[in-house]
Amino acid sequence: MSMIDTNTLIEVQDLTIAYPMADGEVFRALKGISLEVARGQIVGVVGESGAGKSTIGKATLGLLDDNAVIETGGVRLDEARVSHFEEHMFADVRGKKVGYIYQNPMTALNPVLTIGEQIIEAITANTDKRGDAARAYAIELLEQAEVPLPEDRLDKYPHQLSGGLCQRIVFAIAVSAKPDLIIADEPTTALDVTVQKAVLDTLKRLAKRDNIAIILITHDMGVVAEMCDYVYVLRHGAMVEHGPTADLMQSPTQDYTRELMAAIPRIDRKVERFAVPGGLGNATDRQRAIDYLMGNKADRQTANGDEPLLQVRGLSKVFTTAATLVSAANSFRAVDDVNFDVYPGETLGIVGESGSGKSTVGRMILGLHTPEAGAEIVYRGRDVSSITSKKDRLEHCKSLQCIFQDPYSSLNPRMSAGENITHALKAHGTLGRKEADQLAGDLMELVGLPRASRRKMPHAFSGGERQRIGIARALSFRPDFIFCDEPTSALDVTVQAELLNLLKDLQDELGLTLLFVSHDLSVVRQMCDRVLVMKSGQVVESGPCDKVLVDPDAEYTKGLLAAMPKFEFS
Amino acid sequence: MLSFVLRRLGQSSILILIMSILVFVGMYVVSDPVAVLAGEDFTEEDRIALAEELGVNRPLVVQYLSFLKNIAQGDFGTSFVYNRPVLDLILERLPATLEVAVLAIGIGLTIGIPLGIYSGLNQRKPATKAISFTTTVGYSIPNFWQALLLILCFSVWLKWLPASGRGDTTDLFGIPVSFLNWDGLSHMLLPAINLAIYKICMQARLSRSGTQEVMYQDYMTFARAKGIGRDRLIRRHLMRNILIPIVTITGLELGGLIAFSTVTETVFSWPGIGKLLLDSIHHADRPIVVAYLILITLMFVTINFIVDVLYALLDPRIRYK
């Protein structure tokens, strides 16, 4: 131990952390991990969710769950064995020596306390500034973190500020006592692409100024490429490989690292499929599912592929908030005069920042929101508002389906996977119990899940698997049109790649038409034929992806493209 | 703000109107005041005279309308039994009930919340298991039986506390209260404890489940990570977040205690309004019952209003919606 370089700030050695499980098994979140960070160095720890990367940060700060057991090794911070500290010994570590940045700034700040109180309590706890001096320092910190109007923000509550601003406030808290190390746990995952880069730049600048080292935990190779000097790749709690960022990204030695990089959608070129292994299900079951899904396709298919499946004209939506104790009624135009066509079998993308109205467009097409008067939605040659009979309405609804953004809340947690897929069909009396069970199994195989797992409850599946169940559910209605509302934004890159592959395959096989909404330009580039760029409810630019996302006309699109993390590897 | 208050008032007037009709009709159907009040030796003529004196010989609709008219003039009517203004009777009894109710809620909050937070934070400790067991038992014991046990224990065996009555009172701003002298306070303790046991258990369970939910929130972990001491973590970060459900329930419970602690007041012969209500139902004293329930409704409306204001103070997300 004493042989280490005096410049080493933190050393994780052979760390194994285990959680005993209910069934007597032991789950090891980390398996013999060793890593080192020098003063002022920015080190990336990369891996998918479940790779155990957050556990390293928690072990350093004594924030592990009560039932976690350190089986081997430990963490040394400045020669002190922090991984084996008692709770009271962390007083000198938390906030003082190590600052922590949480994945989601909206949940990391206490919703019922003002920003000012939350910064000042950290200053009071970790520095000798009190009262007015602490307040002045809080304002100074916010200025340094590039928060506009810092004085006003002190009296605000977290929900009144955007995610990007909240994360800057978290940065201000983390650097308040000029720590030696900042552990940043997925600091930009919850933020819009457009603000990610600026937020990371701020973090890097603050760290460089005070010579603060950073352990940057992320699943995003793009972020690593921009920020880190050195990178460790983790998988299932074990070290895969490590090295200086440039070397490792130029010539990764392990398949997993290559896969991780290949899975990242790229903005600069389009690939047919992502190079990740995607398991296909049992062939007979798949075929049976496809037969079912294609069953009544023939009579419904528009003979002429040149005719749009969906035509949207003058689509607008105004949301109005009710008057309250303190504010008058307020209305804003979420979607403003949007027009487009979608042709059978194509994928139309809509990109934009959150709040640009892109999801609202899709929801109006599905009939989940009512558009403002004057809008016209024509589906298969028929104006949607003219559908009045209950039977036609049902047929129409079945033909337009949706895959939701959040795979965790979009499945009913009290129904098994199979019931989730078919309960609506059963409710309509279209299917008997046995047929439903059979269909659920076939569809599970079709989306690459084992047939037997249809009896498991949603919580037993990972995010990616749940999203597959969501796809199977949408398919069960034999739709022609599927609205994909950011279907992969909650998923890891490799899982995202697998899922996008699946969607492409299903589209080829079933001739589906997709409306694909995303804030991620590279995902849209990979998935879509044409794209609409939306800003504040209006379409800024539209056209083929190869044009709009390569050589855009609108300044706004250029800005979006510029904010993307770039890769300097081939 | 004003429109909010006005809307609330409008809603509650309708509520009170409907409730008064129900009680009026209900009391008319179930009992006849003349039959209850008339002596053994009353002749038919005496009965008619009595009915006329009480005003119950008129059609029910007429009785109800004249009742409404009197209320509009601030007159809640005159008790059939005591032959005194109803409002005076109720207001005489109210301080006794309020005192006990507030004391019981106070005990419930000061003991229940710390117990709940402790057991929420230390889920594996034996003390937590003990708390959980005790609160389950305390939650389920019938109120009257628990009252008898308390009397047996503290009055009969230990002879520490008196078992019944209100004891000496001291005037506070012209209102007689018991808690300002020892004799009164000692009379108050047993009924208050009897009511408080249930409240302690409930608050403990509420704050335990709140604590368990809040302590795993990201902002709690983040607050620990930024070096906040344990005291501040619990007082500011945890408490502020678990208080919202506690405030709701406490508001409702306070109303419930004031209005319906009838059983406890009866067992301890505590001269509160709960006991007045029970006696009045028994004696078919309709003016008291109706006036009492109207006042109680008003009280619930007021408490709910205060709870809503507290919500907004506690949770900025509600305030700025």
The pLDDT tens digits for B206-222 are 999 999 888 888 899 89
Q: Does B144 touch chain A (CB under 8 A)?
A: no
A67 Cβ under 8 Å from any chain B Cβ = no
Using the beta-carbon criterion (under 8 Å), do B226 and A91 form an inter-chain contact?
no
Q: Is residue B304 domain-resident?
A: no
Residue A314 exposed, middle or buried by CB count within 10 Å (0-12, 13-18, 19+): middle
User: Which pLDDT score is estimated for A570?
Assistant: 41
Over 90: is that where the pLDDT of B87 sits? no
- Residue B123 placed within a domain: yes
**Most confident by average pLDDT, A516-525, B108-117, B170-179:** B108-117
Interface of B with A in 229-268 (CB under 8 A): 229, 232, 236-237, 240-241
Cβ of A330 under 8 Å from any chain B Cβ?
no
- A95 vs B226, B232, B312: nearest CB: B226
When scoring A64, A88, A110 by the number of chain B Cβ atoms within 10 A, the one with the most, hence best to mutate, is: A110
- Please report the pLDDT score of residue A458 as a whole number: 85
A503, pLDDT greater than 80: yes
Is the confidence at residue B321, as pLDDT, over 70? no
The count of structural domains within chain B is: 1
User: Would B321 be classed as within a structural domain?
Assistant: no
Please name the member of A61, A112, A324 whose beta carbon is closest to the beta carbon of B314: A112
Q: Which positions in chain B touch A109 (Cβ < 8 Å)?
A: 219, 222
Task: Answer whether residue A331 shows pLDDT above 80.
Answer: no
Pick the CATH number of A283-296+344-359+390-562 from 3.40.50.300, 3.40.50.970, 3.40.50.1820, 1.20.210.10: 3.40.50.300
Let me know if the fold of A8-262 is the same as that of A283-296+344-359+390-562: yes
Q: Which of A62, A132, A47, A70 is nearest to A98 (CA)?
A: A62
Is residue A42's pLDDT more than 90?
yes
Are A109 and B225 a contacting pair at CB < 8 A?
A: no
Asked if pLDDT for residue B231 goes beyond 70, the answer is: yes
pLDDT at A325: 52
Banded model confidence at residue A3, pLDDT cuts 50, 70, 90: very low
Q: Give the pLDDT score at B8.
A: 75
Q: With a CB-CB cutoff of 8 Å, which residues 139-158 of chain A face chain B?
A: 157
Q: Would the pLDDT of A510 be above 80?
A: yes
Question: In which band, very low, low, confident or very high, does the pLDDT at A278 lie, cut at 50, 70 and 90?
Answer: low
Q: How far is B227 from chain A (nearest CA, A)?
A: 5
- Nearest-CA residue of chain B relative to A121? B228
Per-residue confidence band for A568, with pLDDT thresholds at 50, 70 and 90: low
Indicate the pLDDT class of residue A262, thresholds 50, 70 and 90: confident
- Under an 8 A CB cutoff, do A110 and B227 touch? no
Please answer yes or no on whether A325 and B4 come within 8 Å at the CB atom: yes
- Establish if B311 belongs to a structural domain: no
- A residues 307-326 lying closer than 8 A (beta carbon) to B: 323-326
Per-residue burial over A387-419, b if 16 or more Cβ lie within 10 Å, else e, is: beeeeeeeeebbbbbbbbbbbeebbeeeebbbb
CA distances from A467 to A221, A245, A493, A503 (A): 23, 32, 14, 11
What spatial distance separates the first Cα and last Cα of chain B, rounded to whole Å? 13
* N residues, chain A: 570
Instruction: Report CB contact under 8 Å: B1, A325.
Output: yes
Asked if A95 and B320 come within 8 Å (Cβ–Cβ), the reply is no
Predicted local confidence at residue B109, as pLDDT: 94
Supply the Cα-derived Rg of chain A in whole angstroms. Answer: 26
Whether residue B50 is contained in a domain is answered as no
Model confidence over B24-49: pLDDT tens digits? Answer: 888 777 777 777 777 777 788 888 88
Instruction: Report in angstroms the alpha-carbon separations of B110 from A274, B77, B105, B127, B204.
Output: 61, 40, 9, 18, 10
Burial, A295: exposed, middle or buried (Cβ in 10 Å; 0-12, 13-18, 19+)? exposed
Instruction: Tell me whether A368 touches chain B (CB under 8 Å).
Output: no
Q: CA angle at residue A462 from A460 to A465, to 5 degrees?
A: 100
pLDDT at A4 over 80: no
A299 versus A34: which is more confidently predicted?
Answer: A34
Question: What pLDDT, on a 0 to 100 scale, did the predictor assign at position B168?
Answer: 74
- Among residues A377, A404, A557, A549, the alpha carbon closest in space to that of A487 is found at A404
Query: Would you tell me which residues 165-184 of chain A have a C-beta closer than 8 angstroms to some C-beta of chain B?
Result: 170, 173-174, 177
Q: Does A126 touch chain B (CB under 8 A)?
A: yes
Q: Which residues of A touch B239 (CB under 8 A)?
A: none
Percent share of chain A, pLDDT over 90? 23
Measure CB to CB from residue B240 to each of A61, A102, A113 and give the nearest one.
A113
Of A91, A112, A323, the CB nearest to B241: A112
Above 50 in pLDDT, residue A569? Answer: no
Interface-testing mutation among B226, B243, B309, B314, with chain A (most A C-beta atoms within 10 A): B226
CA of A65: which chain B residue's CA is closest? B216
CA atoms within 13 A on the CB side of A346: 18
Distances from the Cα of B39 to the Cαs of A421, B47, B58, B282, in angstroms?
Answer: 75, 9, 22, 16
Look at residues A9, A1, A2, A14 and name the one whose alpha carbon lies nearest to residue A70: A14
- Best of A121, A156, A183, A326 to substitute, by most chain B Cβ atoms within 10 angstroms, is A121
The dihedral region occupied by A6, where left means phi > 0, alpha psi between -120 and 50, and beta the remainder, is alpha
Distance CA B37, CA B47 (A): 9
- Tokens 């996008």 sit on residue: A500
Asked if pLDDT for residue B113 goes beyond 90, the answer is yes
CATH number of A8-262: 3.40.50.300
Average pLDDT, chain A: 84
Give the range among A275-289, B9-23, B98-112 with minimum mean pLDDT.
A275-289
Find the residue in A nearest to B2 (Cα): A325
In Å, how far is B170's CA from the nearest CA of chain A? 42
- Which residues on neighbouring strands pair with residue A230, listed in sequence order? A43, A244
pLDDT at A301 over 60: no
Contact B237 A110 (CB under 8 A): yes
In a domain, B289, yes or no: no
Q: Quick: pLDDT tens for B263-290.
A: 888 888 888 888 888 888 888 888 888 8
CA A169 → CA A142, A220, A267, distances in Å? 7, 22, 31
- B29, part of any domain: no
Measured between beta carbons, the chain A residues lying within 8 angstroms of B218 are 102-104, 107-108
Chain A residues with beta carbon closer than 8 angstroms to that of B319: 325-326
The whole-number average pLDDT for the span B141-147 is: 87
B221 CB neighbours in chain A (<8 A) are: 63, 102
Indicate the residue of B225, B228, B316 with minimum beta-carbon distance to A121. Answer: B228
Query: Taking CB atoms and an 8 Å limit, are A122 and B321 in contact across chains?
Result: no
The pLDDT score that the predictor gives to residue A279 is 53
User: Mean pLDDT, to the nearest integer, of A163-180?
Assistant: 89
Q: What is the pLDDT of residue A110?
A: 92
Distance of residue A111 Cα from the nearest chain B Cα, in angstroms? 8
- What residue numbers bound the domain in which B133 lies? 92-283
Provide the token pair at A510: 């079933």
Q: What's the CA gap between A160 and A111, in Å, rounded?
A: 10
Q: What is the pLDDT of residue B320?
A: 60
Domain range summary for chain A, segments of one domain joined by +: 8-262, 283-296+344-359+390-562
Which CATH number characterizes residue B133's domain? 1.10.3720.10
ipTM over 0.90: no
Task: With cut-offs at 50, 70 and 90, classify the pLDDT of residue A348.
Answer: very high
**Confidence at A541, pLDDT banded by 50, 70, 90:** very high
Instruction: Please tell me which of the candidates A96, A102, A111 has its beta carbon nearest to residue B317.
Output: A111
Return phi, psi of residue B10, to 5°: -60, -50
Q: Is residue B105 part of a domain?
A: yes
Report the DSSP pairing between strands A400-403 and A481-485.
parallel
CA distance B221 to chain A (A): 7
Read off the amino acid at residue A517: V
Query: What is the H or E stretch that residue A233 is in?
Result: strand A230-235
pLDDT given at position A321: 66
Highest mean pLDDT among A460-464, B29-33, B49-53, B244-248: B244-248
pLDDT tens-digit map of A197-214: 888 888 888 888 889 999
- Taking the C-alpha atoms of residue A5 and residue A349, their distance in angstroms, rounded to an integer, is 52
Q: How confident is the model at residue A542 (pLDDT cuts 50, 70, 90)?
A: very high
- Are A110 and B240 in contact (CB < 8 Å)? yes
Pick from A232-246, A314-328, A427-441 the range whose average pLDDT is largest.
Answer: A232-246
